[in-house]
Chains A and B, each alone.
Chain A
Amino acid sequence: MKKLLTTTAAATALLMGATGAQAEGKLAIYHWFEYIPQELLDKFSKEHDVEVIMDTYDSNEAMLATLKAGAIGTYDVAVPTDYMVSILIAEGLADEIASGELANIGNVKSGFSDPAYDPGLKHSIPYQGGTTSFAVDTAEYSADIDSTDIIFNPPEELHGKINVLDSQGEVLALAAVHMGIPQCSTDRDQLKALNDMLQAAKPHWASFNSDTAKEVLAAGDVAAGMIFNGYAAKARETRETLKYAYPKQGWVNWMDSVVLLKDAPNRENALKFMDFLLEPENIAQVTNFARYTDVIQGTAEYIDPELASMHESNPPAGIEGVFVEACNAETQAVYDKIWTNLKK
């Protein structure tokens, strides 16, 4: 609640500032935390003589809540994940980009220019892609880690030493992968089984944390934890024995995108910023910082060579990940209930 209040307060402050001066030289970004390097924002700021303001969030749902609570019209762009892009479009919170408005849109690698979440890239540009599974400290547990059993049916060595993301979408998606059932299933037996499986797994977990998912692993608070691949690579830089897992059952794939928001107060600058991020040299800076993968042509020469070869960005061939699905209202109500049961 307090976090929400501060975000809302920040948004209100921003709103007042933005309506007071419709100056051309501004850009308001709503972004994930610890993701984009400040130097890149400074570079954009300098090149286009634009003052960049950035607020951050720690979950797609928090971003949606802030926008719906009145922050729409405050920010120019946001950076939601695939499924949330389609939700923003469906909720009418995304603006349309006319063809020709983005000079560099052709730089997007083929295969990513017509995604299911935003057909024809009418509202967004792909930003960074990656996977979500979990990392294990191999000094604490040396057997095979490539199974979702590590989280949902953990070996005794890991009991009480597991962190899961404090995020319903990712936990329930990975849980569905673990059980081999479809996401947003409407089958009652499957939903009951999902609920029971999570209830049985929870006593083995130490904590639910998203924004400290990296830190708890790096500091050794837990020996295994759900995490995004690039974040896992960063944790490994601190603690070398951490290994990112590619479970044989599958994992969660995602693509974060820069969305042009409806009623953007600085639409022109937002488009400039999107074009800026479509340039290989610039997006490569994000990739190098966040340790994920971009889908822009010609970034290879700017990318940290270690990044291409590292374990965290090279999923094994032959196993597929899944994208998080946005459930319909009826199934979402059951999912909410399962999540509340899990945390009650």
Chain B
Amino acid sequence: MAGGATSGGNAVTDTYKEARNWLLLPAWGTLGIMVLAPVLLMLVYSFLTKEFRGGVIWEFSLAAYDQFFFDRGLFGDDPAKIEWTYIAIFWRSIWQAGAATVLSLLIGFPTAYFIATRPEKQRVIWVFLITIPYWVNLLIRTVSMRFLLRDEGPLNSFLMTTGLVDSPIHMINTNFAVQVGLFYSYLPFMVLPIYAAVERYNFTLSEAAADLYANKWITLRHIVLPAVKPGVVAGCILVFVPSLGSFLAPDLLGGAKNFMIGSLIEEQFKGNAGNWPFGAAASMILLTMVLIILVIYARAQARSDKEAG
């Protein structure tokens, strides 16, 4: 991902030098309208004064960030303390997204490896099978998961009729259900990049390792994993980032008992709170956090590229 663009870029630049700026126009336009403008709008709103019942007054204010970091009690006139509420909500979301990422990696990596090592004709079918469920809307898939997991759902009926359990296993409205939902929602984002990386991997390297008496674990750790690392990292980012902001799974499968980052922000716009600057500020803090993670990754990647090259 990062670093890949630098190699061999010069040749391209020369050939298309004249036309390059024009050819890039659609890309810049898209980025400007779809990414930059909304983020700037959010940034501006986060520093405005909130209007009662939604909306903003165009006056500069730090109230939104103040609310995020400082606790002034139920009535807002106690001496300021550190506000842990929102930090706890962010931490819960990060933990949950992290767990979903690890779970996806544990299942996704062997799956991707399995697919990539099939004969070429079979691979297409396997990849196709992985993507089929994703032709259906995410909301519908999450609701279906609710049906599957509930006390009187097919999974529990099956377990009970087969005599494996006496009473239904309570899964709905638990963190377990949320994890299952996130894992199910984002698994292909893990499988596909890893598959792409493993497919390019030169398996004669593994044979060479075996010839040199490396056992399977050592081959995996020191030969295969470094080679497919970009795919693994890309998969982890693609699962972690949407999980962080997701609220369908926490709402529908977890019972919405606790705010997640996504639902906290939603509440500021859609709920009684009607506090747009605070919603914007929370979005900006989330965005900053994700950016920091990506920058750290990009730097580490650049460093390891340098060391390798």
Contact = CB atoms under 8 A, between A and B. Distances in A.
B257 interface: yes
Contacts of B245: 1
A170 B156 CA distance: 34
A291 to B, nearest CB: 23
Interface string B209-233: 0000000000000000000000000
Contact of A344 (B76, B88, B248, B265): B88
Interface in B254-309: 255-259, 262, 265-267, 269-275
Contacts of A87: 53
Interface stretch (A58-66, A295-303, A305-313): A58-66
Given A188-B75, A340-B273, 4 more contacts: A64-B53, A221-B151, A336-B272, A337-B74
Contact of A168 (B53, B85, B272): B272
A212 interface: yes
Nearest to B86: A344
B267 to A, nearest CB: 8
Nearest to A326: B53
B98 interface: no
Nearest to A91: B53
Interface string A195-207: 1000000100111
A208 to B, nearest CB: 4
Contact of A219 (B150, B173, B265): B150
B271 A168 contact: yes
A156 B29 CA distance: 60
A221 B85 contact: no
A115 to B, nearest CB: 21
B272 A65 contact: no
A62 B85 contact: no
Interface string A151-185: 00000000000010011110000000000000000
B242 to A, nearest CB: 10
A333 B89 CA distance: 20
B114 interface: no
A205 B89 CA distance: 19
Interface string B66-90: 0000000011100000000100110
B252 interface: yes
A329 B52 contact: yes
Given A87-B53, A212-B252, A220 B151 contact: yes
Nearest to B172: A221
B255 A341 contact: no
Contact of B272 (A1, A68, A192, A339): A339
Nearest to A329: B52
Interface in A201-225: 202, 205-209, 212, 219-221
Interface string B226-253: 0000000000000000000101100110
B274 A61 contact: yes
Summarize A's interface: helix, strand, loop or mixed. Answer: helix
Given A91-B53, A343-B257, A336 B172 contact: no
Interface residues of A, number: 45
A338 interface: yes
Contact of B270 (A61, A163, A338): A61
B55 to A, nearest CB: 5
B152 interface: yes
B53 A192 contact: no
A65 B172 contact: no
Contacts of A333: 76
Interface string A123-162: 0000000000000000000000000000000000000000
Contacts of A65: 54, 269-270, 274
Q: How big is the B interface, by class?
A: 35 or more
Contact of B89 (A59, A207, A344): A344
A344 B270 contact: no
Contacts of B251: 166, 209
B274 A64 contact: yes
Contacts of B255: 163, 206-209
Contacts of A36: none
A341 B251 CA distance: 17
Contacts of A329: 52
Which 10 pairs across A and B sit closest by C-beta, in order of nearness? A207-B255, A168-B272, A208-B256, A62-B270, A329-B52, A1-B266, A336-B273, A344-B85, A68-B54, A206-B173
B256 A2 contact: no
Nearest to A208: B256
Contacts of A12: none
B271 A59 contact: yes
B272 A219 contact: no
Contacts of A219: 150, 152
A256 B236 CA distance: 47
Contacts of B258: 343-344
Contacts of A205: 257
B257 A2 contact: no
B172 A61 contact: no
A1 B256 contact: no
B271 A207 contact: no
Contacts of A59: 270-271
B272 A4 contact: no
A61 B89 CA distance: 23
B75 A207 contact: no
Interface string A97-114: 000000000000000000
Given A334-B75, A340-B259, A4 B266 contact: yes
A332 interface: yes
Given A64-B53, A221-B150, A332-B52, A209 B256 contact: yes
Nearest to A222: B173
A332 B150 CA distance: 36
Interface in A56-111: 59, 61-62, 64-65, 68-69, 87, 91
